[in-house]
Amino acid sequence: MIDDRADDATAARLFVLLVGSALLIGGIAGFFYEADFSTGGGLVSDDILGLFPTNGWDNVFHVIAGLACLAAAARAPRQMALAIGALFTVVAVWGLLVTDRGIGSIADTIPVSTEDNLLHLAVGLTAIAAGLAGGSRPAAPA
């Protein structure tokens, strides 16, 4: 008997493992740049590598997304890739709408910049592509 999970969603599994690890590491590293949890007018952020604004809320978001990807890699990689793809694409579009002259914030909580939004869009679209890759399996020999 063939184990259906053994071949399921190889591209999606690779994506959630790699991106999940990157999100987790990036979220943890972000706390070394800025760990403040202020919101609204008191929002504080610092730029990772001079490009990506971050704060405590942004770091928590990335840590949770990374852990979710890693947890889903074995049982539901395709579903997680599609979910992360939808989430990051929505965050990118939302961020592009609120970015004013290079920096803005989502819900007065998470700082975003144009570079950040483009990275989120690239991750989101790549996740959707990974989730849709593979499709159906070839029929087993009789």
Looking at the predicted structure, is the pLDDT value of residue 26 above 90?
yes
**pLDDT over 70 percentage in the chain:** 85
State the pLDDT at residue 101.
Answer: 58
Give me the chain's average pLDDT, please.
88
Task: Please tell me the distance from the alpha carbon of residue 20 to that of residue 64, in angstroms, as a whole number.
Answer: 9
The span from the CA of 133 to the CA of 63, in Å, is 26
CA distance 103 to 46: 12
Q: Name every residue whose Cβ is closer than 8 Å to that of residue 58 and which is 6 or more positions away in sequence.
A: 27, 30, 45, 110, 111
As to burial, measured by CB atoms within 10 angstroms (0-12 exposed, 13-18 middle, 19+ buried), residue 57 is: buried
Q: How confident is the model at residue 104 (pLDDT cuts 50, 70, 90)?
A: confident
Does residue 4 form part of some domain? no
Q: Which amino acid is at 35?
A: A
Three-point CA angle 120, 114, 30, nearest 5°: 60
User: Would 104 be classed as within a structural domain?
Assistant: yes
Closest to 62 in 3D by CA, of 40, 35, 43, 38: 35
4 has a pLDDT exceeding 80: no
Across residues 31-46, what is the average pLDDT?
Answer: 90
Q: Please indicate, yes or no, if residue 11 is contained in any of the structural domains.
A: no
Task: Find where tokens 């592009």 sit.
Answer: 96
Range of the domain at 111: 20-35+53-132
The answer as to whether 13 is a domain residue is: no
Q: What average pLDDT does range 27-47 have in this prediction?
A: 91
- Within a domain: residue 25? yes
Domain annotation covers residue 42: no
Lowest mean pLDDT among 13-17, 43-47, 83-87: 43-47
In a domain, 5, yes or no: no
Q: What is the DSSP letter of 125?
A: H
48 in a structural domain:
no
Strand ranges in the chain using DSSP code E only, listed in sequence order: 46-48, 52-54, 103-106, 110-113
Structure confidence at residue 136 (pLDDT): 55
For the chain, what is the domain count?
Answer: 1
- Taking 50 as the threshold, does the pLDDT of residue 31 lie above it? yes
The predicted-structure confidence for 55-84, as pLDDT tens digits, reads as follows 999 999 999 999 999 999 999 999 999 999
